[in-house]
Amino acid sequence: MNKAPATSKLKRSAISGLALAHAGITHIGHKARQLTRDDGDKLVAQDQHEAELGRILFRALNQLKGTALKLSQLLSMEADFLPAGIRRELAKGCYQVTPLNRALVHKVFTREFGLAPEELFARFEPHSFAAASLGQVHLATLADGTKLAVKVQYPGIASSIGSDIRMLQGILQTLALGSDLMPRQELIDRMMHEIEHKLAEELDYEHEADQLRWFSAHVALPDIVIPQVLEKQSSRRVLSMQHLDGLHLEPWLATKPTQAQRDHFGQLLYDWFWHSVRQLGRLHADPHPGNFLFMPDGQLGVLDFGCTKTISVEFCQAMAQAWTALLAPPSDDNYAQVRAAYIDLGVISAELSLGDFIDTLIPAITPLVNWQMEAFKTASFDFSNKSAYPSPQRSNSKTMLNIAAGFHEDLPYFDRAFLGLMHMLKQLGATVATGNPWTKPT
């Protein structure tokens, strides 16, 4: 029988406590064994140890479900935050979701509206057609025949955000004892605080409804479709929206679209991202392919506005400066521009000299920068040729963690959405007009 996420404080504390103990014991054993290994074996063992720590963390988060499982998904996408071995294990959270049974769905509607879903709609499908870590989506129909997608939040999970964040901070502190590739404690705390704030917004469907209405009113791209909100059938825990007909990325690719169709939708995805950042100043910050619909008339439906982020002018100016310098031939002058932009973004301290920046940090970030800039060195780019995301080298990751001072509050959201965009364009194999998007007129 499908159950709601565990909400008992005692039960959640027991799960996190066992995870902390297991991680601590694993770390002690690993450190003892490392004393007898040579340098080559130590590197292999360290990778295996980080993967095991990731499995311990994921098992705890997966048992807790709800917001904890959402945390697993978010942290797996923070490429520069956690070691690769831990992120690979956390990525499993993107594929393990247990749907609610009918009784729990009725419980949510009764609490929100005082009515069963069958009383609120002319027709309501009891089985969800989509599920995520925080809620699931049902098909419904109004008396006039209007088709709806109704998102229902799992009961009780909003109350667990704070305790889950504290639990995760404790586990990450323990993991930091077992890996020299974990961020400093102040960076972990700052990231957790930002995630907690955004999760609270994402669990407020009235906030998401406001975002849907805002984007609908401001988007100036004609082929972008955003579902309309049904206010009378929506609340803080239930969100009823216009149902859009279309396919998600993988089912759409299975229809064997032409290259022209791939290019069309690839350009739409690309333009939507940069239009949001540069013209709207507000980003749809959940890059999952399941949040986009490829519609029969060539339009692109955009779903799930629970996680959005206002992008500041100062952030855009610093990023434009960094990208323009990185796309130019290497020189001390151009690296000085990159250094100044990174200081403005809070990534490095002003105390890091230009010489140390060039000699120490530039070699460490070059593989990632090359991957980021690859598609923007020409007027257009064939994303079927996009290189794979660079595997982090331990020495480079350690250098970046030692030098990193922090991050601009907009940067994690931009990076996450940008990474999702690159992956989708690669899957599409689309050829897209690119150039330097930070300096193009909007």
Helical residues (DSSP H) of 203-312, grouped into ranges? 205-218, 249-254, 259-274
Catalytic residue, chosen from 164, 223, 271, 286, is: 286
Nearest C-alpha neighbor of 252 from the set 306, 301, 305, 304: 301
Classify burial at 79, counting beta carbons within 10 Å of its beta carbon; exposed 0-12, middle 13-18, buried 19 or more.
middle
What does the alpha-carbon distance between residue 217 and residue 229 come to, in Å, rounded to a whole number? 12
CB 148 within 8 A of CB 230: yes
Contacts 24+ apart (CB under 8 A), 89-96: 89/51, 89/54, 89/55, 89/57, 89/58, 90/54, 90/57, 90/58, 90/61, 92/58, 92/62, 93/58, 93/61, 93/62, 93/69, 93/133, 94/288, 96/62, 96/69
Tell me if residue 382 is catalytic: no
Sheet holding 224-225, edge to edge: 224-225, 300-302, 292-294
Residues contacting 322, CB < 8 A, separation 6+:
337, 338, 341, 342, 345
Angle at 186 between CA 183 and CA 189, to 5 degrees: 95
What does the alpha-carbon distance between residue 228 and residue 209 come to, in Å, rounded to a whole number? 9
What does the alpha-carbon distance between residue 192 and residue 68 come to, in Å, rounded to a whole number? 12
CA torsion 249-253-257-263 (nearest 10°) is 50
Distance of CA 83 to the CA centre of its chain: 16
What does the alpha-carbon distance between residue 331 and residue 196 come to, in Å, rounded to a whole number? 41
Neighbours of 4 (CB within 10 A): 17
Residues with a known catalytic role: 286
